[in-house]
Amino acid sequence: MSGLLFLLIAAVLVWWLTRNSMSRRKKPRQGDIPEHRTLFNLQVGDVVQRDMRDWIVESILEFNQSGFQWREYYLRDGEEGVWLVVVDDDRLELSWMRQVPPHEVSINFPLRDQLVYEGVRYRLEEQGLAQYQRISRNSKQGGPCRFHDYAAEGGRVLSVEIYVQDASVDNGEIELCLGERITPESLSILPGDGRSVYA
pLDDT in tens, 111-137: 999 999 999 999 999 999 999 999 987
Residue 69, helix vs strand vs coil: strand
Mean pLDDT of the chain: 85
pTM of the model: 0.80
Predicted confidence band of residue 22 (pLDDT cuts 50, 70, 90): very low
Return the higher-pLDDT residue of 45 and 139.
45
User: How many angstroms separate the CA atoms of 163 and 72, rounded?
Assistant: 14
pLDDT beyond 90 at 162: yes
pLDDT beyond 70 at 1: no
Distances (CA, A) of 31 to 20, 25, 36, 50, 158: 20, 14, 13, 29, 40
Quick one: pLDDT at residue 130?
Answer: 97
Predicted confidence band of residue 191 (pLDDT cuts 50, 70, 90): very high
